[in-house]
């Protein structure tokens, strides 16, 4: 029992005199900031994916209702053409938004590294 308390006391003393401790504290703070930035980015990405998916499912259901009212094959073809045109535009817009969100998340994480490299200021 005495040996265990002696080893704890000696490890505490050596930890306080270790010059690396200050660097680890700043490294942990950097990682915390980078993780928070990553979490915000993932959250924004998930929200955008959810919004896009909800919109697409709603519009997909609507197109089936419109198709059911078509009176001939030409009406149905025109309905499908409009649907495909609109959906393509929405997919391109969503891809651009998601790409921007990923870039923002990456830049946010890298800004933590840049702060550490340039120092406080």
Q: Which of 10-19, 20-29, 62-71 comes out lowest in average pLDDT?
A: 10-19
**What was the pLDDT predicted at 24?**
67
Output 103-108 pairs: Cβ under 8 A, ≥24 positions apart: 104/41, 104/44, 105/37, 105/38, 105/40, 105/41, 105/42, 105/44, 105/45, 106/41, 108/37, 108/38, 108/40, 108/41
Does the pTM surpass 0.75? The reply is no
Look at 25 and 104; give whichever has higher pLDDT.
104
Q: Is the pLDDT of residue 79 over 70?
A: yes
């Amino acid at each position: 029992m005495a040996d265990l308390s002696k080893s704890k006391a000696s490890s505490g003393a050596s930890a306080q005199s270790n010059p690396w401790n200050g660097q680890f504290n700043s490294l942990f703070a950097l990682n915390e900031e980078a993780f928070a930035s990553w979490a915000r980015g993932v959250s924004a990405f998930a929200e955008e994916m959810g919004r896009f998916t909800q919109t697409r499912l709603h519009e997909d259901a609507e197109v089936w209702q419109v198709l059911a009212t078509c009176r001939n094959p030409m009406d149905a073809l025109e309905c499908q053409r409009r649907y495909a045109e609109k959906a393509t535009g929405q997919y391109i817009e969503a891809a651009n938004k998601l790409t921007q969100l990923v870039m923002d998340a990456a830049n946010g994480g890298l800004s933590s590294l840049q702060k550490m490299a340039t120092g406080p200021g």
